[in-house]
Structure 1
Amino acid sequence: MYHFALPELIEAVAATGNDEAQTMLTMLLSGKRLRDISDLPLDLAV
């Protein structure tokens, strides 16, 4: 899934201090299930 405001989402989750949300977001990012929208054109070109 591509997110149009991924850097802002990461910042907002960090600001909440919610460890569970931070862990879930880290898992989504490391598993490449959540990506920045700027990656979409590159992924479609392949």
Structure 2
Amino acid sequence: MRSDRRQNPRTEALNLIRNRNGPVPHIVAVTSEPMPKRIASIARESSDLDCVYHIALPELRGAVSESMEGRRSEQDQDLEMLISAKRLR
């Protein structure tokens, strides 16, 4: 996901909500983005989205944990915070 495209899911969600006649469905984004910071930029900043789904979340958690060789990184903390807040599933 390019950083200049992070507003696209938000814009699409707003268009869907604005043009909807009935009740608003759950609005989500589905991604395979490997960078937790980019995922956080969508999941945290967009209250228009109910949550973000990652297609390989267990693998992403494992990769982030392994990359820091046991040290808790900022990316690892961000990822766990998003998961515990149910913004990322």
TM-score over 0.5 (shorter chain):
yes
AA partner of residue 31 (structure 1): A
AA partner of residue 73 (structure 2): D
Q: Give 1 or 2 for the bigger CA radius of gyration.
A: 2
Q: CA deviation at 1:23?
A: 0.4
Unaligned stretches of 5+ residues in structure 2: 1-51
Residue number among 41, 60, 78 corresponding to 1:24 in the alignment: 78
Task: Work out the number of aligned pairs and report it.
Answer: 35
Q: Root-mean-square deviation (CA), in Å?
A: 1.1
AA partner of residue 3 (structure 1): H
Runs of 4+ in 1 over 3 A off after TM superposition: none
The percentage of aligned residue pairs carrying the same residue is 51
Q: What secondary structure does 1:25 align onto? A: helix
Q: CA deviation at 1:15?
A: 0.8
Q: Which residue of 1 aligns with 2:61?
A: 10
Task: With a CA cutoff of 8 Å and minimum separation of 6, indicate the structure with the bigger relative contact order.
Answer: 1
Q: What secondary structure does 1:32 align onto? A: coil
Deviations 1:20-45 (A, max 9, x none): 0110001100000100xxxxxxxxxx
Which protein is richer in helix relative to its size?
1
| TM score, norm. by length of structure 2 | 0.38
Q: CA deviation at 1:16?
A: 1.2
Q: Which residue of 2 aligns with 1:40?
A: none
